[in-house]
C-alpha cells in the first residue's frame, strides 16, 4: 500500500503544471520534440524508420522491455507499437495514437529552418510541431513518466506511432490489424481535437473529435484528337475541362447535420459574438434554416461541418506548347459528410458537369467510417484534464472536416476520440503550411493532457 501511495503521489506531483515549465519531464519533453523536428519525416525522404528507431531507443533506455516495442516496416516508412501492460490482462486495452510523418516543407520558402525547433517569443516553430510531433512527444513522455514513477495501469495501454497518416494510411491499417490493437475498447487520437483561444489568449472552448468526413478524390478527364496549335478548333480538351470545373465550383451539396454537429455548432453559437454566433445557433436548432445554412457555407471555418464539399486541387493538360491538347485532367478533392456514399458524390459531380465526354473517376479506395458516439467516461476524463487548466470552459464533440487515422480505427470497430490538449488561436493554425507553429505553453499543456488521460482512463494504481 505504501509503495502504491508513493506512486500516486509521484504521478500527481508530476501532473501539476510547472509555471516555469522547467520540471525534469518538461525539459526531457522539449529535448525529444527538438530531436523529432529534425527528422524530415515526409514522404520520399525515408526518415520515418530512423525516427521510430530513435523513439524505441530512448524507451528501451528507460527500461521499457524490448518485447513491448514492435516496429512494423511498410514500404519506405514504418509504424511502431509500444505496450504498457496492465494488471488486469483480461480487460480490453486502450489505444493512444499519433503520427510521425509530416507534409514536406521546402526550407527555401520558410523564414526559419523547418527541420530545426526554434523558440521565439513564446512560440515553437518547426514542421510538425503542431501536426503531429507534439502529439508524438506527449505519447513518448507519458510512457517515460509512467516508467519513472513505477506506475502500473489496471488496463493495458497501447501507444501507436503511425508512419504514413499524411499519405496512404498503410501503417495505420497494419496497426489496426495487430494483435495488441484489434481488441482495443477505444482509441485516443492525439492528432486532432483541441482548444480555441480568443485574440487575447483566453480559452474559449475545447473540442473533442468524434467523427470525420470521408476523404475522396475524383479525376476529371477531357480527351481530344488534338492537332497543330496553328489550326485551332472550337473543341479543346482544356476548355472543356475548364467549363466542367466551373460547374463543379458552382455546385452546392445540401446542408446536413447530425447530433454531434448540432451539439458542436450549438456550443459555438453560445460563445461566438454577434451575427456569426446567431447563425451558428440557428443552424444547430434547425438545419433546414436556409439563411443560416448559407451563412455557414460562406465561412471556410464552418462549411465543412455542415455539408459535403468538393474543390479542384490539381491540373495537368497538354503535351507540347505548339500542339492542341489531347488530354486534360484535374483532381477534385471531396470531403464527404458521414453517411453519404462516395458513389453518390461522384454521380452528383457527373450531373453537375452535364457533359458525358468528361470522365469522372474515383481514385484509390476511399474509406468511410462511422461516428463515434461520445462515451461518458472518456468525456469526463477529458473534462477533468482540461478544466484543471481552464476551469469551466465548454467542452463539445465535433465533426472533423479533414482526415486523420481515426477513419481507419473507426472502420476497424475501434471508437476513436481525438483530444490533443493543444490550445491555439485560429490565426496560428499553420499545419501543412509555412512557418508551422504552436504556443510554447500549449506544448507543455498537451504533454500533461495525454499523461492525464493515460492515468485517468487506464486506472493507474
Strand boundaries in 49-166, DSSP class E: 69-74, 77-84, 94-99, 118-120, 123-125, 157-162
pLDDT band at 4 (very low <50, low <70, confident <90, very high): very low
Q: Residue 111 pLDDT > 80, yes or no? A: yes
Both 165 and 305 in one domain: the answer is: no
Give me the pLDDT at residue 5, please: 34
* Residue 258 domain boundaries: 214-362
Nearest-angstrom CA–CA distance, 340 and 254: 11
* β-pair type (323-324, 227-228): antiparallel
Both 338 and 229 in one domain: the answer is: yes
- Considering the domain boundaries, does residue 56 fall inside one? yes
Give me the pLDDT at residue 89, please: 86
- Considering the domain boundaries, does residue 20 fall inside one? yes
Both 225 and 324 in one domain: the answer is: yes
pLDDT band at 275 (very low <50, low <70, confident <90, very high): very high
Nearest Cα to Cα of residue 167 among 217, 114, 97, 95: 217
CATH of the domain at 282: 3.30.70.360
Per DSSP, 426 falls in state G
Tell me: the pLDDT tens digits for 406-434?
999 999 999 999 999 999 998 899 999 99
pLDDT band at 20 (very low <50, low <70, confident <90, very high): low
Nearest-angstrom CA–CA distance, 456 and 446: 15
Nearest-angstrom CA–CA distance, 428 and 188: 24
Q: Residue 218 pLDDT > 70, yes or no? A: yes
Contact (Cβ atoms closer than 8 angstroms) between residue 8 and residue 145: no
Both 68 and 159 in one domain: the answer is: yes
Both 61 and 108 in one domain: the answer is: yes
- Considering the domain boundaries, does residue 257 fall inside one? yes
Contact (Cβ atoms closer than 8 angstroms) between residue 39 and residue 32: no
Q: Which bin fits 181, alpha (ψ -120 to 50), beta or left (φ > 0)?
A: alpha
Domain count, the chain: 2
Contact (Cβ atoms closer than 8 angstroms) between residue 366 and residue 214: yes
Angle at 409 between CA 432 and CA 95, to 5 degrees: 95
- Considering the domain boundaries, does residue 398 fall inside one? no
- Considering the domain boundaries, does residue 383 fall inside one? no
Both 150 and 233 in one domain: the answer is: no
- Considering the domain boundaries, does residue 199 fall inside one? no
Give me the pLDDT at residue 385, please: 98
Question: Where is the domain boundary, 362, 391, 421?
Answer: 362
Both 253 and 358 in one domain: the answer is: yes
Both 19 and 168 in one domain: the answer is: yes
Both 255 and 300 in one domain: the answer is: yes
Nearest-angstrom CA–CA distance, 26 and 20: 10
Both 147 and 218 in one domain: the answer is: no
Both 306 and 175 in one domain: the answer is: no
- Considering the domain boundaries, does residue 396 fall inside one? no
What SS3 state is found at 152? Answer: coil
Both 31 and 169 in one domain: the answer is: yes
Q: Residue 66 pLDDT > 80, yes or no? A: yes
- Considering the domain boundaries, does residue 379 fall inside one? no
CATH of the domain at 183: 3.40.630.10
pTM: 0.89
Tell me: the pLDDT tens digits for 291-347?
999 999 999 889 999 999 999 999 999 999 999 999 999 999 999 999 999 999 999
Amino acid at each position: 500500500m505504501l509503495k502504491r501511495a508513493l506512486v500516486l503521489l509521484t504521478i500527481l506531483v508530476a501532473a501539476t503544471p510547472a509555471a516555469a515549465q522547467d520540471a525534469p519531464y518538461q525539459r526531457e519533453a522539449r529535448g525529444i520534440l527538438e530531436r523529432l523536428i529534425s527528422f524530415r519525416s515526409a514522404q520520399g525522404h525515408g526518415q520515418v524508420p530512423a525516427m521510430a528507431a530513435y523513439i524505441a531507443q530512448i524507451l528501451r533506455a528507460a527500461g521499457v522491455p524490448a518485447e513491448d516495442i514492435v516496429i512494423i516496416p511498410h514500404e519506405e516508412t514504418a509504424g511502431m507499437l509500444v505496450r504498457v501492460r496492465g494488471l488486469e490482462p483480461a480487460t480490453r486495452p486502450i489505444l493512444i495514437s499519433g503520427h510521425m510523418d509530416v507534409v514536406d516543407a521546402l526550407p527555401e520558402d520558410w523564414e526559419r529552418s523547418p527541420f530545426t525547433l526554434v523558440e521565439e517569443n513564446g512560440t515553437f516553430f518547426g514542421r510538425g510541431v503542431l501536426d503531429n510531433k507534439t502529439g508524438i512527444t506527449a505519447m513518448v513522455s507519458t510512457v517515460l513518466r509512467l516508467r519513472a514513477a513505477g506506475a502500473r495501469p489496471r488496463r493495458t495501454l497501447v501507444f501507436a506511432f503511425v508512419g504514413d497518416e499524411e499519405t496512404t494510411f498503410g501503417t495505420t491499417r497494419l496497426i489496426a490489424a495487430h494483435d495488441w490493437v484489434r481488441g482495443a475498447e477505444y482509441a485516443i487520437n492525439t492528432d486532432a481535437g483541441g482548444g480555441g483561444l480568443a485574440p487575447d489568449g483566453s480559452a474559449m472552448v475545447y473540442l473533442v473529435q468524434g467523427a470525420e468526413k470521408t476523404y475522396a478524390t475524383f479525376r476529371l478527364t477531357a480527351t481530344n484528337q488534338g492537332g497543330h496549335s496553328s489550326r485551332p478548333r472550337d473543341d479543346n480538351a482544356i476548355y472543356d475541362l475548364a467549363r466542367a470545373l466551373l460547374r463543379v465550383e458552382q455546385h452546392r451539396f445540401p446542408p446536413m447535420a447530425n447530433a454531434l454537429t448540432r451539439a458542436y455548432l450549438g456550443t459555438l453559437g453560445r460563445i461566438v459574438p454577434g451575427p456569426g454566433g446567431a447563425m451558428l445557433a440557428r443552424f444547430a436548432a434547425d438545419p433546414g434554416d436556409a439563411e443560416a445554412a448559407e451563412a455557414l457555407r460562406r465561412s471556410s471555418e464552418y462549411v465543412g461541418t455542415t455539408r459535403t464539399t468538393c474543390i479542384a486541387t490539381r491540373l495537368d493538360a497538354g503535351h507540347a506548347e505548339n500542339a492542341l491538347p489531347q488530354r486534360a485532367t484535374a483532381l477534385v478533392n471531396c470531403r464527404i459528410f458521414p453517411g453519404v456514399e462516395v458513389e453518390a458524390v461522384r454521380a452528383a459531380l457527373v450531373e453537375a458537369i452535364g457533359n458525358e465526354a468528361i470522365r469522372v473517376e474515383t481514385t484509390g479506395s476511399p474509406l468511410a467510417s462511422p461516428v463515434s458516439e461520445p462515451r461518458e467516461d472518456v468525456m469526463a476524463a477529458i473534462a477533468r484534464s482540461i478544466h484543471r487548466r481552464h476551469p469551466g470552459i465548454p467542452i463539445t464533440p465535433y465533426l472533423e472536416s479533414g482526415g486523420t487515422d481515426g477513419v481507419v480505427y473507426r472502420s476497424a470497430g475501434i471508437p476513436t476520440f481525438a483530444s490533443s490538449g493543444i490550445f491555439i488561436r485560429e490565426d496560428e493554425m499553420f499545419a501543412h503550411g509555412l512557418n508551422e507553429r504552436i504556443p510554447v505553453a500549449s506544448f507543455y499543456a498537451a504533454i500533461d493532457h495525454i499523461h492525464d488521460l493515460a492515468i485517468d482512463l487506464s486506472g493507474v494504481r
